[in-house]
Structure 1
């Protein structure tokens, strides 16, 4: 059985990290939902925009796999960049799409958690003041629609770098949103907050860069595994990432990666045949 996780929120959940900046994460037992079916995960997982890139879910899944070596994990990408909390209101398109995708996933998997990152589009005192009330309605309805009342909800904080970027004027109240996100997690059962402290952005000053996304995924999994808030980094995140990056590929994974390069035209036919034959003889 596939253990699946619903990914919802805005662009920092979808991921905008530059793939060229980090090593590949590839595991035949990490799946992503496409057209209602499970495929082996490849990034971008959450292709909501042409600028989609590395997100937190890949390292979350890879760390999960370290503790569940006989099982498969599935990622259900439903995040959408630039969206405010009102866009996710019950009955609106994003909410309905998440329910629809999750129900498709439930045919062949069991939802074990919800991953949420959103708030950059709600950085004002007025919106922050209403955040918990609005968010509670969304999560309560989502749990009811999918019949997942007790699965953990992991919520990530906004980056401390936001006020210092080129659009920093729009994020001067980011700390108010972080306060509400953490407050929600502290006051609701089966909900855990993850800090974004010390993480760094892309040049736009808005989106976590690829390495920070990888670290954030590690933090999300720690909160999920331990069922505790992660308010400060108390693990060696880089050591965990190195372990993930240095994992030896299976024969199936080597073949799939080679097939991908051939399909993209990066390998000539004769070289493809030579390499795939060599893999087969391992």
Structure 2
């Protein structure tokens, strides 16, 4: 099984189809359950993955469609050997700043613990990371964002014993207008080995002007899949 860690805040946890704190229950075909795609539950059990992937992880908010299922279904046909499965490890929690993902903090430790459990059943292929809206609310957090993100990547790689672990991050689509471009600049300026950035800017948002729509989450999942396949899988003839 190929393992992918899904982490960050609400747009990774998924708010697609969530309106007035209720999920509409609409699951597009690209996010439909598949026997070859599993998810690690909060209780550390493997089950068939179904939307919302983060329902038992991001429990303080209403979860909807995120990018994880669309990502998994898009990469499945390219995995070698044929028939390989995908294991998703949801870790994202809405409204969290990057300081809450520092080594020693609960969210960071929980992510590493879940990744280690998942690694007992397969190889960790990549961390998918979408976070930064909360940091755009603060001038100080914005200024420190690049350093905090680089430190997070280094810590995750060190603690998982995978110094070249691929890290695919998403550049913000929304956030505090005062600082969103500064956070995006920090994200787009990260220049570390095996770190790839997918830009979500321009994807359509819910009426809250913060969270991606279901359609946008599907598109983002496919963008993340393309980034993974283009950068970290052998080219096909």
Q: Shared topology, TM-score over 0.5? A: yes
Alignment partner of 1:27 is 2:34: yes
The aligned residue for residue 55 of structure 1 is 66
Deviation at 1:21, TM superposition (A): 6.6
The aligned residue for residue 208 of structure 1 is 212
Q: Which 5+ residue runs of structure 2 have no aligned equivalent?
A: 18-24, 233-237
- TM-score (normalised: structure 1): 0.74
Alignment partner of 1:153 is 2:167: yes
Matches of 1:138 and 1:157 in 2, distance apart? 16
3-state secondary structure, aligned to 1:111: strand
Q: Which has the larger radius of gyration?
A: 1
Aligned length: 217
Show CA shifts across 1:190-219 (max 9, x none).
Answer: 000001133111111110011100100111
Show CA shifts across 1:207-245 (max 9, x none).
Answer: 0011100100111111111119xxxxxxxxxxxxxxxxx
Residue of 171, 174, 181 corresponding to 1:175: 181
- TM-score (normalised: structure 2): 0.87
The aligned residue for residue 79 of structure 1 is 92
Higher RCO (CA-CA < 8 Å; seq separation 6+):
2
Structure having the higher helix fraction is 1
Q: Does the 8 Å CA contact 1:55/1:210 hold for their aligned counterparts?
A: yes
Alignment partner of 1:45 is 2:59: no
Q: Does the 8 Å CA contact 1:85/1:134 hold for their aligned counterparts?
A: yes
Deviation at 1:3, TM superposition (A): 0.5
Matches within 5 A, 1:103-182: 103-123=116-136, 124-159=138-173, 162=174, 170-182=176-188
Give the aligned CA root-mean-square deviation in angstroms. 1.5
Q: Which 5+ residue runs of structure 1 have no aligned equivalent?
A: 164-169, 229-282
